[in-house]
Amino acid sequence: MENPAPPVAYDDEIDLWQLWETIWSGRWLIIAITSLFAVGGVTYALVAQEWWRAEVVLAPADKKGGMSGALSQLSGLASLAGVSVGGGGGNEPLAVLKSKDFARQFITEMNLMPVLLKDQKIEDGKAPDIRDALRIFDCQAIWPPEDWSAIPETALSGPVQRLNAAAAISAFEAVCTKRVELGLQAPLSFDARARALQSAQLRGRCQRIEDPFGAAIEWVLDVAHNPDAARELAKALATLPPRARVIGVVGILADKNADEIVGELTAVIDAWVLCGLDGARGRTAEQLRAELSPPVSVIGMTPSVAEACALARAIAGSNDRIVVLGSFHVVGPALDWLGV
């Protein structure tokens, strides 16, 4: 009978030196893989489309600022804080607050829960909460004022900005009525409204700039990027002092109706310089030209906004006006090019 083989002893201890030799022998592979991913990450960060998010913070007026300061914060409410402005009359609401995040913060900051829920009853043992307040707040329509003389003129160009001012003032008065009744703040005077609205500024909203290079040219920059906004821009341009010729610089993203946007402005813009926009949603000037219906007078096409601005300025004569529009992606680079 054969003797059984002696048991084999296994060493479970880790040999750090042997482990280091294994890693060191594969050092070039590790360095190559790490470098590859680092280069890939940097390359993607440089070429990836940039996405932007705008945030608006609304804070109640301090004791020194009074109602003028509060209205100054609210003067851009309609266009900056999720308010949709319409132009109808009768029983059609002028504006409705739509942003849930804004409404939640606004209700909390202004302590509106008692005001919004004052007529709500406890049902099934459940007291009304912030969700009920949001539902009521969302349903509050702001109606056009019966007396427009109570709405001061604004520093912003265009008839729609006076509608925005009316919406801001109406919103302020609607949510602060209870605080005024309780003596927590004073009523809003006409002078306070006028001071606040005259100091309101919005970059890229029918923004008028004299040519920074000394020519007798006026620049108007507006981020209008849909037919409704283009229609309001056309109304605003029609109210401005006439110029010898109006040249439009436009770039429009591929998911927008370019033909309708430009069509709304053909009556107030004489000739067009088209520019391309980069990114996944962008399109070239040639693609934009193919979307436009006659009789649009195109006098130039460029691959970038800066080149389009330079071309329009070179073409423009004394006492001409250049209107830049179509997107934040157009107005932003144009302001940079102008050095504003």
pLDDT at residue 181 tops 70? no
Residue 58 pLDDT: 41
Instruction: Look at residue 129 in the predicted model and tell me its pLDDT.
Output: 72
Whether 235 is in a domain gets the answer: yes
C-beta separation of 142 from 167 below 8 A: yes
In a domain, 15, yes or no: no
pTM > 0.75: yes or no:
no
Kindly state the tokens that stand for 105: 């913060």
8 Å CB contact between 98 and 83: yes
287 in the same domain as 186: no
Is the model more confident about 308 or about 131? 308
Question: Is pLDDT larger for residue 8 or for residue 75?
Answer: 8
Name the residue with higher pLDDT: 236 or 202: 236
pLDDT attached to residue 15: 75
Bigger pLDDT: 143 vs 31: 31
> Are residues 324 and 248 part of one domain?
yes
- Whether 38 maps to a domain, the answer reads no
How much is the pLDDT for 122? 62
Q: Which residues contact 221 (CB under 8 A, 6 or more apart)?
A: 204, 206, 207, 209, 323, 324, 325, 331, 334, 335
Contacts of 18 (CB under 8 A, 6+ apart): none
Quick check: 103 and 134 in contact, CB under 8 A?
yes
Average pLDDT, the chain: 75
In a domain, 14, yes or no: no
Q: Answer whether 197's CB lies under 8 Å from 119's CB.
A: no
Bridge partner list, 273? 249, 300
pLDDT at 200: 72
Q: Are residues 299 and 323 in the same domain?
A: yes
Q: Which of 83, 238, 107, 221 is nearest to 164 (CA)?
A: 83
Last residue of a domain, one of 199, 220, 245: 199
What's the half-sphere exposure (Cβ side, CA atoms, 13 Å) at 241? Answer: 6
In a domain, 30, yes or no: no
Dist CA 251 CA 268 (whole Å): 17
- What are 34-92's pLDDT values in tens digits? 999 998 888 887 776 555 444 444 444 443 444 344 444 444 443 433 433 344 333 33
> Of residues 239 and 72, which shows the higher confidence score?
239
Q: Into how many domains does the chain fold?
A: 2
- DSSP β-bridge partners for residue 298: 272
Give yes or no: residues 313 and 329 share one domain. Answer: yes
Q: Reduced to 3 states, what is the DSSP secondary structure of residue 25?
A: helix
Structure tokens at 309: 């601005």
Q: Where are the alpha helices (DSSP H) in the chain?
A: 16-25, 27-47, 66-74, 77-80, 100-109, 113-116, 130-139, 159-181, 190-199, 227-239, 258-263, 285-291, 305-315, 328-338
Confidence band, pLDDT 50/70/90 cuts, at residue 165? confident
Domain-embedded: residue 250: yes
Q: Is there a single domain that holds both residue 170 and residue 256?
A: no
Proportion of the chain above pLDDT 90, given as a percent = 36
Q: Strands across the sheet with 246-250, in order? A: 207-210, 218-221, 321-325, 246-250, 271-275, 298-302
Whether the per-residue pLDDT at 294 is higher than 50: the answer is yes
pLDDT of residue 42: 84
The answer to whether residues 104 and 152 touch, using CB atoms and an 8 Å cutoff, is no
51: phi then psi, degrees, rounded to nearest 5: -115, 135
One domain for residues 275 and 315: yes
37 lies in a domain? no
Share of the chain above pLDDT 70, in %: 60
Domain check: are 213 and 178 in the same one? no
Which domain-ending residue is among 176, 199, 222?
Answer: 199
Quote the domain boundaries for residue 325: 207-338
Average pLDDT over every residue of 272-299:
94
Range among 77-81, 124-128, 172-176, 303-307 rated most confident: 303-307
Q: Are residues 293 and 333 located together in one domain of the fold?
A: yes
For residue 20, tell me if it sits in a domain: no
Domain match, 194 and 71 both: yes
> What's the whole-number mean pLDDT along residues 246-268?
96
Choosing from 171, 199, 227, the residue where a domain stops is: 199
> Domain containing 286 — which CATH number?
3.90.190.20
> Same domain for 243 and 189?
no
SS3 241: coil
Binning pLDDT at 50, 70 and 90, where does residue 22 land?
A: confident
Residues 193 and 237 in one domain: no
Q: Are residues 137 and 214 in the same domain?
A: no
Instruction: Give me Rg for the CA atoms of the chain.
Output: 30
Which has more confidence, 174 or 230? 230
